Amino acid sequence: MTSSRPLFACSLALLVGGDGQQADLPEQTHLLARAEERAAAGRYAEARRLYERLARAHPDTAEGRTAARRSKPSAYLGAAPIVANGPPANRVDVALMGDGYQLGEMKGFDKLAADIPPLFERQATLREYFSYFNFHRLALVSADNGVDGFGREYDTALDGRTLSTYAGHVGVSAKRVRAMLDDWGEHDSLAIVFVKQGVLGTGGGGFATIGGRNAKTTIHEWGHAFAGLGDEYATKTHERGGVSRRVNVSDTDDPDEVPWAHWIEAGVRGVGVYEGAAGQVRGAWKPTSGGCVMESGEFFCPPCREALVLRIYSIVDPIESCSPLPHPRGHAVHLVLDDPFEPLAFEVGVMQPEKHRIEVGWWVLPERAAPLGPQERLERYRPSRAGHTDRRGRGPLPMMPTEPVAYSRGVRSGRHRFRLEPGELEPGRYRVVCRATDTTLLRGERTPWVLADPDDLLVSERAWWVVVPQED
Ligand SMILES: [Zn+2]
């Protein structure tokens, strides 16, 4: 379905777009919009001055309180899209942030942020689904340029600190990262944080933290943060207290018990059980002999790649738009097929991976034959902060009782159409069902990227009621 989620900058666009509207708005609204506009344009010192002015002039308004927060020595100043591939409601929205960047150094962060989407585009797995991502630059100013540790404390936006690993990996306060995301607006709770003076990186729970700038570290930490992948290297970095199971890390070498057993069972070449993972030489196993990004390589191994694709589809619906609006199962509304010269036309727009296409099937089923869909459950989902639902909550789709009446494999535009012609159906009530599926099978490859999809995340459905009236 098309998104009804407003863009982050919509209030801004409204204010900046038409001069005629500005007069009607209270001064504090206008000042806040101007400050955000300056920050979006990278004019941080000006943004800062406007926030200070607003905080002084309107301390008892919501805008004034926001401005006071943004006037602190370390603060969120504003955001700007870097790569906008589609509506945030149906994209993986990645927030890029910096820690330890003082006001005069923020141009450096802007440049760094601009270099991150190309890293995703160069990585084979992420490139295939690059159009599923949006990237946003969140401008954070820090009072100090430093990282806590070794007895020193600095005032920085995200409280960057040196962790007690052997090499002193960098970490930040997840609470602060969340606070900055909340100040920005609707978000997917996903961030990549660059700590100016930190080293190496850490990742988990949606947030990747990178010391300085390092392409390889960024993608590796993103694997931890976004898909919960484990480390496939054997080098000990710190005391981890036991091996925690991940889709790519096992505490057993039993090929039937490892989390990637379905890859072994399918006989996929190169996938087995290899000792040395999770920062230890013995007692932890990984799916390939080496070379995964989660070790220190360039490519994600098949189980890691599968987890990344499924995670993307936990956020992104393969069907992006649909016309006419679909009818939930319990819906009283229906379309009527009664004009002998006017077929009913349906259209869905699907997501477009880089090198393969999403396939679409259509069914026309008499009401009693239509399987119970998940729509009722869908409506009860708790939407995420970004306004979209976690698609994992939908659960698997029911089996269709028949083969589709129409099926399309490759439509370049991503727009799939179906026409229901008058005269083809007996009078009655029908369910027209459209299902779009990402087979994850790329041309020239033997094995799909996803072998196990218990929640049918790769499949999306829309359905409509159609009534064919009795002829008088
Ligand atoms: Zn891997």
pLDDT in tens, 83-116: 999 999 999 999 999 999 999 999 999 999 999 9
State the architecture of 317-468 in CATH terms: Sandwich (2.60)
Residue 8 has pLDDT above 50, yes or no: no
CA 304 to centroid of ligand 1, rounded, Å: 4
Average pLDDT over residues 19-37: 81
User: Each residue of 363-421: pLDDT tens digit?
Assistant: 999 988 777 655 444 433 334 444 456 888 888 888 898 999 999 987 888 999 999 98
User: CATH 2.60.40 occupies which residues in the chain?
Assistant: 317-468
Which of 23-27, 58-62, 204-208 has the weakest average pLDDT?
23-27
DSSP conformation class of 118: H
Which of 6-10, 77-81, 136-140, 227-231 has the weakest average pLDDT?
6-10
Other Cβ atoms closer than 10 A to 396: 12
Helices marked H in 6-128:
10-17, 19-22, 27-40, 44-57, 62-70, 106-114, 116-122, 124-128
pLDDT at 157: 86
pLDDT at 16: 43
| pLDDT-based confidence at residue 170 (cuts at 50, 70, 90) | confident
pLDDT at 243: 83
| pLDDT-based confidence at residue 76 (cuts at 50, 70, 90) | very high
CA 193 to centroid of ligand 1, rounded, Å: 23
Contact call for residues 84 and 180 (beta carbons, < 8 A): no
For 81, 97, 145, 212, 462, the CA distances from 78, given in Å and listed in that order, are 11, 11, 20, 22, 37
Average pLDDT over residues 333-353: 91
**Higher-pLDDT residue of 11, 162:** 162
Structure tokens at 259: 């989390």
Which of 71-80, 232-241, 291-300 has the weakest average pLDDT?
232-241
CA 97 to centroid of ligand 1, rounded, Å: 26
Residue 166 has pLDDT above 70, yes or no: no
CA 295 to centroid of ligand 1, rounded, Å: 7
pLDDT at 21: 47
pLDDT at 66: 96
Helices (H) and strands (E) in the chain, counts: 13, 18
Residue 458 has pLDDT above 60, yes or no: yes
DSSP conformation class of 367: G
Distance CA 62, CA 121 (A): 40
Residue type, 103: L
pLDDT at 422: 84
CA 301 to centroid of ligand 1, rounded, Å: 4
Residue 168 has pLDDT above 90, yes or no: no
CA 228 to centroid of ligand 1, rounded, Å: 11
CA 62 to centroid of ligand 1, rounded, Å: 47
CA 320 to centroid of ligand 1, rounded, Å: 30
Domain 75-227 has CATH 3.40.390.10: yes
Residue 27 has pLDDT above 80, yes or no: yes
CA 220 to centroid of ligand 1, rounded, Å: 10
Average pLDDT over residues 231-250: 86
CA 316 to centroid of ligand 1, rounded, Å: 22
CA 351 to centroid of ligand 1, rounded, Å: 26
User: CATH 3.40.390.10 occupies which residues in the chain?
Assistant: 75-227
Residue type, 41: A
| pLDDT-based confidence at residue 63 (cuts at 50, 70, 90) | very high
Exposure string for 432-449, b = 16+ CB within 10 A, e = fewer:
bbbbbbbebeeeeeebbb
CA 437 to centroid of ligand 1, rounded, Å: 25
CA 157 to centroid of ligand 1, rounded, Å: 33
CA 300 to centroid of ligand 1, rounded, Å: 5
Q: In degrees rounded to 5, what are phi and psi of residue 204?
A: 165, 155
209 CB-contact burial (10 Å; exposed 0-12 / middle 13-18 / buried 19+): buried
CA 296 to centroid of ligand 1, rounded, Å: 10
Residue 3 has pLDDT above 80, yes or no: no
Average pLDDT over residues 276-295: 93
Distance CA 289, CA 286 (A): 8
Which of 78-87, 244-253, 330-339, 354-363 has the weakest average pLDDT?
330-339
CA 379 to centroid of ligand 1, rounded, Å: 35
Structure tokens at 360: 């679409």
Cα dihedral sign for 218, 221, 227, 232? positive
**What proportion of the chain, given as a percentage, has pLDDT over 70?**
89
CA 219 to centroid of ligand 1, rounded, Å: 12
Helices marked H in 228-359:
261-265, 302-315
CA 233 to centroid of ligand 1, rounded, Å: 10
CA 123 to centroid of ligand 1, rounded, Å: 14
CA 307 to centroid of ligand 1, rounded, Å: 9
**Which residues pair with residue 436 across a beta bridge?**
360, 460
| pLDDT-based confidence at residue 268 (cuts at 50, 70, 90) | very high
pLDDT at 145: 81
Which of 187-196, 206-215, 307-316, 372-381 has the weakest average pLDDT?
372-381
Q: In degrees rounded to 5, what are phi and psi of residue 79?
A: -140, 160
Q: What is the mean pLDDT of the chain?
A: 87
CA 248 to centroid of ligand 1, rounded, Å: 6
CA 249 to centroid of ligand 1, rounded, Å: 8
CA 208 to centroid of ligand 1, rounded, Å: 17
**Which residues pair with residue 468 across a beta bridge?**
428
Q: In degrees rounded to 5, what are phi and psi of residue 403?
A: -75, 155
